[in-house]
Structures are given as C-alpha cells and as structure tokens.
Structure 1
C-alpha cells in the first residue's frame, strides 16, 4: 500500500484516500527496542570512542572522498605526520580503516561506508544547529 498526500488533508492517506490507522498514536514508543548483548554494546562504545577525536573525524571525512596516504592527510589537514600516524593507528585498531602497502607508502581507506555515515550524520547534525 503506497502513501500519497490526500487532497485537502495535510497528512498521509492511502492510494484510495483512506487515512491510515496509527495503532501507536498514543504511545509511539510502546514497542521495546531490541535488547543487545553487553558485548555488542561495549564494542559499539569502543567504536564511537575511536571516532570521537576531531582529527579522526577529519581523517574519516578525507577517506570518504578517496583513499589517502599519510602525507596526503598531513597536507589536507595541516596536522603533523606523527599525530596523523597515531590517529590512524587508533582508527585501524578499531576496524575503521585499513592500510595497504603500495611501494614505499601505505594507502589508507575506510573499511566500509557504515562508519562514514556515522561521522557524516554527526557533522551534518552539528552544522544544522540541532
């Protein structure tokens, strides 16, 4: 059943013009959230802590655009090479980035886009002024 805007009504209606029934209108959060294991919650906390530093957020945003080596990140972010390397180690140990040796350089990339979405959404949230 598709939801379309009904004529003369600002809320959603079904394709046949009938207002949908909202069984949770009085208690929209009455369905409990799925329970996660303590191990899963701890791992998620570790991941969020790994993403918590401003330089690491900036690194993730750079890697979202393209794979980069350390000197590319130093140039783009204006941060000293030892500091970039330290932050990359944290991100790598958290499973956010991985490095691949190409000749004398190691090129870093994001493990997957899920993590980049967390960072992009957090930045967008702040830029919108909450």
Structure 2
C-alpha cells in the first residue's frame, strides 16, 4: 500500500513539473539571444535584428516591446499577431554609448495560455575601451 502511495505521489510530482516547463520556449524560438557589435566608434548608429518564430499551434500576440535602456529603440513591421509557423523580425537600433554596454530588450507575448516575456541582449564596447 505504501508503494502505491509513493507511485501516485511521483506521478503527481511529474505532472506538476511538466506544467512548470510551459514557458516562452514552448511557444517561440528565437534565432539568437544576444547580438555583440564588438568594438564600435563613439555615437555609431547600430542596428541588428532578432527573428522570433511561433512554434506553437495557436496564434501569438505581441503585447509590447520594451527596451532595457533609453538608448535602444525596438520595432517590428506589420501585425501584432504571429500565426503558427510564421515569424516576426524585431529590429533593435541604438547609438553606441560610452564604454562597454549591454542592454536587455524584452518582448511581451500573449497566448490563450497566458502571457510571457522573451528577453534578448545587445552589447558591444566603445573603441579604445
């Protein structure tokens, strides 16, 4: 009887663990989590893109795009909805700040199962530093 109780507890624990893994990467894939500009000149205009793909079976909605710092501008073209199997390109533009820099960018995405954040980083170093 004790072994049946332990077995049922293990099954319940497994189900809870699987539910906890239901995060952003169950819904989207991203081509890179970081873009390193390397050494850049002061006040250089920098631009890179991050491609987000909907790998779920339901439409996803971009709720907001947030920059981690005022020097970063995030944008995308077209609809907020990303249909299953489709992708959306997020463009990050910034002017190189002084010294080494690393900026976190966040995309908030909604689905029928809730909302989640997807983060990526832009970084680099001012020449001579």
Normalised TM-score (structure 1): 0.24
Higher RCO (Cα < 8 Å, 6 or more apart): 2
> Scaled by the length of structure 2, what TM-score is found?
0.24
Q: Which has the higher helix share?
A: 1
- Structure label with greater radius of gyration: 1
